[in-house]
Structure 1
Amino acid sequence: MTAGCTPCEMEALEDAAVVFRDDLWACEVLDGFDVPGWFVLRVRRHALRIGGLSDAELATYGRRARDLSAAVSEVTGAPATYLLTFGEANPHFHTLVAARGDEVPPERRLGGIMQQRTDRLDRPAALALVPAMAEAYARHAAR
C-alpha cells in the first residue's frame, strides 16, 4: 500500500463498502463517489495505470469488469453501465463502474455522468446496494 494513494487506502474501507476482494482485484463503494449504483473496481496492489498491470491482472481485468457490470445492471435495473478509467488524479489503476438509470437526463449521460457526483451522493443508499451486489457479482463470477 502506498501512503496518500486513494485506491491503496481503500484496503482499509469498512466491510459494508466491499462488494468483493480477491487476490488481484477489489470492488468497493468509495466515499466521495458514493452515488447509488457506482462502484470502484481496482487492482489491489499499487500499479500505475493500465501499463503497470501484471499479466495476471491484465488476464483477469476484463472478466471482473464484465461480471461487475452485469451485477450492476441486474441490481440497479439501469439500462446502461459505464466503465470509466481516467488515471490522472489517482494513477493507481482503477475503474469507476457507474449505473446510468433512465432518470438521468440526456445532458448528464456519456461524459456528463460525472456531474452526478455533485448532486446524487447518498452513502447510505449506495451502501444499501452492497449486499445485493455481492450476491449478484458472485453468481456472475461463478459462471
Structure 2
Amino acid sequence: MTTDSHGSDGVTEAEPEPGGYTAYDPAMTTPECYTCSQEARLDGLPLSERIAFDQHWRVAHAFDTALPGWLVLLPRRHVTAVHELTDAEATTLGTWQVRLSRALHDVTGCIKTYVAQFAEVEGFAHVHFHVMPRMANLPQELRGPKVFELLRRPAQQRVTADLVDEIARSLHTRLTSSSERSSSCCPAAGSRNETGPG
C-alpha cells in the first residue's frame, strides 16, 4: 500500500484488493444509496463523515442524534447484508469495532459501548454498524436497544455541529496516533485506503 500523500488533504487512491476492486470503485456502489453517495465524495466530506477509514471501512459520527459520540461503521462498497461481506471485510470488522470502542472510552469516558446493525430504514439499507458510547449516567429508560430513541429527539436536543466536530477531531487523533496504529490492523493515516485524512 502507498503511504505517500497527494492532493489537498493528503490522501491517495486505494490499491486493488485480491478480489479485484479498490476500496472506492464506482462500479461497487449504488448512486441511490446515501452511504454510497457519501463514499463517492469522500475527499469533500467533513471530518465527522470520515473520522477514520481503511480500504474496507469508513467511520462517521451519526447525524440527528442526541448522543455525543454515536458512531457508524460503514463498508466502503455497497453491501446490504452481513453475509455479503468479503473475507477481508469480515476480518477487519471486529478489529474496527474494538478500536472504536476503545477510542470512545478514551474520548467520552463511556463505561462500555453498544454495537448494533439493522440497516432497515428506507434509504439506509447499506450495511452499517452503530457503535454507541454507553455513559454511566444514561437513564435506564434509554439503555440497551432503547438507546435508539436518541435518534428521534427534536432538533434542539440533538448534538450540536460544534460538538460533533470536536468529538470527530478527538477520535481522529486517537485513531490515527502511532500507538493506536501499531496495535491495530490498520496502517498509518495519509492515504485514501488507510486510516483517514492526513
TM-score by length of 1: 0.89
Change (3 A) 1:141 1:114: farther
Identical-residue share of aligned pairs (%): 27
Q: CA deviation at 1:133?
A: 0.3
Task: Write out aligned runs for 1:1-143 (5 A).
Answer: 1-11=29-39, 12=41, 14-17=45-48, 18-33=50-65, 35-89=67-121, 90-119=124-153, 120-122=157-159, 123-139=161-177, 140-143=180-183
1:115-140 per-position Cα deviation (integer Å, ceiling 9, x unaligned):
11233421321221011101222343
Separation in structure 2 between the aligned mates of residue 9 and residue 27 of structure 1, nearest angstrom: 15
Separation in structure 2 between the aligned mates of residue 33 and residue 10 of structure 1, nearest angstrom: 18
CA contact (8 A) 1:77 1:101 kept: yes
Structure 1 runs not aligned, ≥5 long: none
Q: CA RMSD in A?
A: 1.8
- Larger proportion of helix: 1
Q: CA deviation at 1:102?
A: 2.0
Structure 2 counterpart of 1:121, one-letter code: R
Larger radius of gyration: 2
Structure 2 runs not aligned, ≥5 long: 1-28, 184-198
TM-score by length of 2: 0.66
Separation in structure 2 between the aligned mates of residue 81 and residue 30 of structure 1, nearest angstrom: 15
Structure 2 counterpart of 1:99, one-letter code: P
- Larger proportion of strand: 1
